[in-house]
Chains A and B, each alone.
Chain A
Amino acid sequence: MPPAILVSGLWKRYRYGTLGYGTLRHDLQSWWARVRGRDDPNAKLHLRRPPANDAGSDHFWALADVSFTVEPGEVVGIVGRNGAGKSTLLKVLSRVTAPTRGEIRLRGRLASLLEVGTGFHPDLTGRENIFLNGAILGMTRAEVRRQFDAIVAFAGLERFVDTPVKRYSSGMYVRLAFAVAAHLEAEILVVDEVLAVGDASFQRKALGRMQAVAGEGRTVLFVSHNLGAVRSLCTRGLVIADGAIAFAGDTVPALEHYEASLATVGDPLRSSRPAGPLAGVVGFSRVAVRQDGIEVSRVDPTRGFEVIVEGRTETPIGDAAVALGLFSEGHRLFSLHDSTEGVNLPAGDFRSHFEMPSHLLRPGRFVLGVGVRRALGGDWAWIAEAAAFEVSERWDERLLQRDTGALCVSVRAWRETASAGSFTLEDAVAGAGQSRREEGHDRG
């Protein structure tokens, strides 16, 4: 069977400076300056340095010689840091922009979800928007009609389907938009981080739907910073770094490769720009780990340590909490806030401290996410994989008490045994009763 997606030698170049505001006047000015042998008044100033190759030139390669194949029915997770080229790859695959060189062959219809709710019109009802959005995403009216009841039921909006969507809550809006996208009838589905919408229960539902789509034998390309979702959904992983494929293979080794490539604590963050509504306001410069007063990248688990988050906000943020998330193998272990209620964060630099007790983490690699969340209003900014650190293999009695896992959790656990005469299992099976026992398990 031929591959569903065949990408060969794909390159994509972007130019700096010329973006957008090319005006006829500027072009005429440049031309007039050339005629008189003067300097072009509109020559580009290199305000932003190209991140990769060709430093100093006016363009950079967002994709550089990318080749891969995806077999029909495969679910491929694409991971990489912000700016690595993931979104560019998806845009080229979805035909939103053309490649500079190379070729892509797709077998079957490709539907791309770079965003949910593209083309929704606030004055139209839910029903009208389902048809319009479905058609924008490439479905015919007959196909939308066939899926209509499933879409409405999935979004849970049966009662509001004839209400203009401008009267929807933002949650309802997102649910409807995702429901349309989730019911696309395409052989190849390209999904960019759209699962990061809605509340937690809807996210679970959305993830379940993605799993069902994958189970139907359709080909899925899935970009996400939610490494846990990538781990549970995908059969293969692609790691993209600096516009090229750094690793291609099974999901677990791909995620390991990616986590190993993250900035270690203490270094300046490779990408300080967070996601979220406060992204333009807050930036993070550094995440550091300090043990016994010195900065480290490997932590001794038998002693306490401190995580320090440094950042800056351009404008004051009211009722803000700086948040720290701890991840292991793509799973979020827990989140911490530097204040529960949220206190005002004045404009300027800030530094938050998070004290970790000893014996909290087991040896292994951990990834830190940092962000700011407003207690009221819900605005946030978040860098999912800001930095990583290691917990060294140093064991002591308290760590040895537990077998595996990432966290060392102390919960009360006890045991009763029948042989001590204090206990009988009511439903004990004759002959087996003696060896049965009830046991408390540690979590973690």
Chain B
Amino acid sequence: MRNAERPEASLRETVIRPASGWFDLHLGELWRYRDLIYLMVRRDFVAQYAQTILGPLWFLIQPVLTTAMFVLVFNRVARLPTDGVPPYLFYMAGSVAWGYFANCLTRISTTFTTNAHIFGKVWFPRLVVPISVAVSSLFAFVIQFALLAVLLGLEALRGGSLPIGPGLLALPLVVLQMGLLGIGCGIVISSLTTKYRDLVNLVAFGVQLWMFATPVVYPASKIPARWAWLLAVNPMAPMVESFRILVLGAGTVTAGQIAAGIAITLLILAAGVVLFSRIEKSFMDTV
């Protein structure tokens, strides 16, 4: 019946060919599967809270403990400066921003291995999975950001200044870029781990190392001039600094660093999409 209603001409033709081209991306099909992205985000959300009593509150424990540790180690013991911002706000802003990116990257880097079962049984654009992970990681980010906002408000009541301005509108763009970079790095790693399983063990260490190369526990303003190139090649550096400027009103970033960061982000994302699309065709034969 449904079939009869549909004129023959409107039937889409699909052609299945060997995995040959590097640029056989099918991004249009991603759009057709947008409902699946929504439903996977919903699944992650429901599944994460279904069994926990505290629910979303768990997300607060991580930044609170991290911040406490950073304050103790880097501020009290190592005496690192914090751009004139109260240390706990400085570290919390850094770790909330970094946390979103690191969370995206780590979860996406296991896309193929954790979904091998589904991927082996049914086809859908595989990029649906990393995108939905990046979106569902936003829940934790939003909750942690809300805590940060509350702390900022309390600080303002105690006589500090509240740097709320039109610049805050740029915040979603920074978060978007972090998400895109997280997806890009995550799908590159997940593609490589289909061949090299032991790379998985390096991911946690690599993320840790990357964090210390990024101004999370120290301000960019304290980076010696001979290390300044790090800020240009590490796209997370201008993003974390921009995040602090927008939220705390303190930080150093140049337009050149932001532009370089965006360019590198897009480059990694494009390379990741190409690699990922290539791997997804042969993945089931190698797992």
A18-B119 Cα distance, complex, nearest whole Å: 19
**Given A98-B282, A105-B13, A216–B196 Cβ distance below 8 Å?**
no
A283-B188 Cα distance, complex, nearest whole Å: 42
A16-B200 Cα distance, complex, nearest whole Å: 24
**Given A105-B14, A106-B14, A135-B33, A112–B287 Cβ distance below 8 Å?**
no
A94-B16 Cα distance, complex, nearest whole Å: 9
Residue A121, interface by CB 8 Å: yes
Residue B158, interface by CB 8 Å: no
A131-B43 Cα distance, complex, nearest whole Å: 10
**Given A98-B19, A105-B14, A106-B16, A123–B50 Cβ distance below 8 Å?**
yes
**Given A137-B122, A187-B11, A99–B17 Cβ distance below 8 Å?**
yes
Closest to A104 in B: B16
Interface residues of A (CB under 8 A from B): 1, 14-15, 18-25, 27, 91-110, 112, 114-115, 118-119, 121, 123-124, 128, 131-132, 135-141, 164, 185, 187, 216-218
**Given A128-B46, A135-B35, A92–B286 Cβ distance below 8 Å?**
no
A1-B40 Cα distance, complex, nearest whole Å: 38
Residue B42, interface by CB 8 Å: yes
Our count of residue pairs bridging A and B at CB distance below 8 angstroms stands at 131
Query: How far in angstroms is the closest Cβ of chain A from B251?
Result: 38
A124 and B3 within 8 A (CB): no
Query: How far in angstroms is the closest Cβ of chain A from B40?
Result: 7
Residue B22, interface by CB 8 Å: no
Closest to B199 in A: A24
Residues of A within 8 A of B119 (CB): 96
B196 and A22 within 8 A (CB): yes
Closest to A142 in B: B35
Residue B77, interface by CB 8 Å: no
Residue B78, interface by CB 8 Å: no
8 pairs of residues in contact across A and B, judged by CB atoms under 8 Å: A20-B286, A92-B16, A94-B123, A98-B282, A107-B13, A112-B123, A136-B122, A141-B39
Residues of B within 8 A of A135 (CB): 33, 35-36, 39
A374-B47 Cα distance, complex, nearest whole Å: 35
> Within residues 238 to 284 of chain B, which ones have a CB less than 8 A from any CB in chain A?
281-282, 284
A140-B32 Cα distance, complex, nearest whole Å: 8
A119-B121 Cα distance, complex, nearest whole Å: 10
Residues of B within 8 A of A1 (CB): 8
Closest to B10 in A: A108
Query: How far in angstroms is the closest Cβ of chain A from B174?
Result: 30
A136 and B197 within 8 A (CB): no
Residue B18, interface by CB 8 Å: yes
**Given A103-B16, A216-B2, A24–B196 Cβ distance below 8 Å?**
yes
Residues of A within 8 A of B281 (CB): 97-98
A139-B32 Cα distance, complex, nearest whole Å: 9
B46 and A123 within 8 A (CB): yes
Kindly name the residue among A93, A110, A135, A164 whose own CB sees the greatest number of chain B CB atoms within 10 A: A135
Query: How far in angstroms is the closest Cβ of chain A from B281?
Result: 4
**Given A25-B198, A132-B43, A216-B2, A15–B285 Cβ distance below 8 Å?**
yes
A187-B4 Cα distance, complex, nearest whole Å: 10
> Within residues 51 to 84 of chain B, which ones have a CB less than 8 A from any CB in chain A?
51
Closest to B202 in A: A24
Query: How far in angstroms is the closest Cβ of chain A from B33?
Result: 7
B122 and A216 within 8 A (CB): no
Residue B120, interface by CB 8 Å: yes
A96 and B120 within 8 A (CB): yes
A394-B240 Cα distance, complex, nearest whole Å: 89
B121 and A115 within 8 A (CB): yes
Kindly name the residue among B13, B36, B195 whose own CB sees the greatest number of chain A CB atoms within 10 A: B36
Residue B229, interface by CB 8 Å: no
A96 and B121 within 8 A (CB): yes
Residues of A within 8 A of B284 (CB): 91, 96-97
**Given A21-B197, A135-B36, A141-B39, A105–B15 Cβ distance below 8 Å?**
yes
A107-B120 Cα distance, complex, nearest whole Å: 23
A123-B43 Cα distance, complex, nearest whole Å: 9
Closest to A24 in B: B196
Query: How far in angstroms is the closest Cβ of chain A from B15?
Result: 5
**Given A19-B286, A123-B51, A124-B46, A112–B122 Cβ distance below 8 Å?**
yes
Residue B169, interface by CB 8 Å: no
Residue B226, interface by CB 8 Å: no
**Given A109-B12, A185-B2, A218-B3, A119–B118 Cβ distance below 8 Å?**
yes
B50 and A128 within 8 A (CB): no
Query: How far in angstroms is the closest Cβ of chain B from A8?
Result: 11
Encode B182-218 as 1/0 by CB contact (under 8 A) with A.
Answer: 0000000000000111110000000000000000000
A136 and B118 within 8 A (CB): yes
Kindly name the residue among A92, A137, A138, A185 whose own CB sees the greatest number of chain B CB atoms within 10 A: A138
